[in-house]
Amino acid sequence: MDGTNPKFSLARSNPKSVAVHAPIPLVSIIVPARNEEDVIGDCLGSLSKQQDVAFEIILVDDGSTDRTGEIARSVPGLDVIPARPLPNGWTGKNNACWTGAIWAKGEWLLFTDADTIHEPHALRTALNDAAESQAQMVSFSPKQILGSIWEMMVMPVIFAELARQYPPVKVRDPNSRIAAANGQFLLVEAKTYRELGGHEFVRNDILEDVALAKRFKSSGKKIFFDYGGDVVRTRMYRSLKQLIEGWTKNLALLFPRSLLKSISNSAELIILLCAAITVYDAIADPIHRHLAVSMITLVAVYSRLVVLAQRAHFGWWPSLLAPLGRLFFIILLLRSYIQSKVKKRIQWKGREYQQCIDADAPGLVPPKAPPAEYTL
């Protein structure tokens, strides 16, 4: 698509390039952004410093009412375009990503969030992983930056549970049905993406990254998914309100058996609490017959929670808060279940989505004749 479309009349910038003799594909970096003035400058600054890769950067302004667009336009060498008017049945992010994909001309498309920071070798690393694994999709789970006690409590727990729900080794295994991706860093082969319908195919999915991964894998495409803390990092939520709203939107969809997971986590906390109470009562009575068993139980359960957080790539201090984080996780999971499964209503960034939001449901079939100005 060229820049003559009246819907997108901004002049294109020249893609950045490097002096490398081997063939290097052009990568279109697409950043959907809605009211991200606090983080967008750092994100775009890190993306503009990518090394050993030919790339263009496309910022899709999704109806921002703050300085997001102004800040983006102050960064040289990128395109700032408006998201098309939000059609019925679409989420805002899917619409913005699809708008960016329409504008893009790269052989690969990198979708990344406005709150991410990328190391200079991030894109090159992803392309290398794609080549080595012959994958059509590469996704990294970023290093999580924790800025508040609430984040330290709950983020290690959630990511530990995600690692158990979506083990990267299973996601990468073509013979496994488990599919996952992280929309904070999602690199796809443009040709394959378009053949499979891209974000239009998953246009009503709140968890568009997981839905796209399922679409790719069920179509026989390869996915490379791994922890990418050495290439990309993010602070997902910068306030307690954002954290509650964000995980309420996602948790019940990430964990389809939400009630069962809530019960199992609650049982674990009850065992921990009972062991702690018994140990406390037994301190005054050193020969208490339950002291040894209670101490072993207390140490075993608590250590397990800490180890799970450690395996999710978090430091010792956040990991030590794991029991409190478990309680917070259960509350958020139940809240998410009520909102998405009972009320079937989700709020995010000033928008409300009321639709069938089943994580296991297939995406909608793209319309046969989308408007010409939005056709790839």
Name the domain count of the chain.
2
| One domain, residues 193 and 291 | no
Short-list 142, 134, 219, 144, CA closest to 179: 219
Give backbone dihedrals phi and psi of 269, rounded to 5 degrees, phi first: -70, -35
Residue 177 has pLDDT above 60, yes or no: yes
| pLDDT confidence of residue 361 | 37
Stretch among 8-12, 62-66, 296-300, 371-375 having the lowest mean pLDDT: 8-12
68 & 198 share domain: yes
**Distance in angstroms (rounded) separating the CA atoms of residues 190 and 3:** 19
Residues 280 and 191 in one domain: no
- Three-class secondary structure of residue 70 per DSSP: helix
More confident residue, 266 or 218: 218
87 plus 120 within the same structural domain: yes
| pLDDT higher than 80, residue 23 | no
Residue closest to 141 by CA, chosen among 210, 49, 196: 210
Q: Are residues 95 and 41 in the same domain?
A: yes
Is 214 found in the same domain as 87?
A: yes
pLDDT of residue 279: 63
Please tell me the predicted confidence (pLDDT) of residue 305.
73
Give the mean pLDDT of 184-193.
97
Mean pLDDT of 122-128: 95
Check residues 142 and 343 and name the one with the higher pLDDT: 142
For residue 329, what are the domain limits? Answer: 258-354
Domain of 136, CATH number, reads 3.90.550.10
Give the CA distances from residue 329 to residues 55, 56, 299, in Å, rounded to whole numbers and listed in that order.
39, 39, 21
Same structural domain, 73 and 189? yes
Residue 136 pLDDT > 80: yes
Residue 287 CB-half CA count within 13 A? 0
Band of residue 272 on the pLDDT scale cut at 50, 70, 90:
confident
Q: Would 162 be classed as within a structural domain? A: no
List pLDDT tens digits, range 254-264: 998 888 888 88
Same domain for 275 and 138: no
Reported as a pLDDT band with limits 50, 70 and 90, residue 19 is: very low
Neighbours of 368 (CB within 10 A): 5
Question: Do both 273 and 194 map to the same domain?
Answer: no
> What is the predicted pLDDT for the residue at 359?
40
Q: Which of the 8 DSSP states describes residue 224? A: E
Strands 351-354 and 345-348: what pairing? antiparallel
Q: Does residue 71 sit in the same domain as residue 190?
A: yes
Residues 230 and 262 in one domain: no
Token digits of residue 112: 């990344």
User: Is residue 329 assigned to a domain?
Assistant: yes
Is 49 part of a structural domain of the chain? yes
For residue range 220-250, what is the model confidence (pLDDT) as tens digits? 999 999 999 999 999 999 899 999 999 999 8
251 versus 356: the higher-pLDDT residue is: 251
Indicate whether 192 and 65 sit together in one domain. Answer: yes
| Amino acid residing at 341 | K
Asked if residue 130 is part of any domain, the answer here is: yes
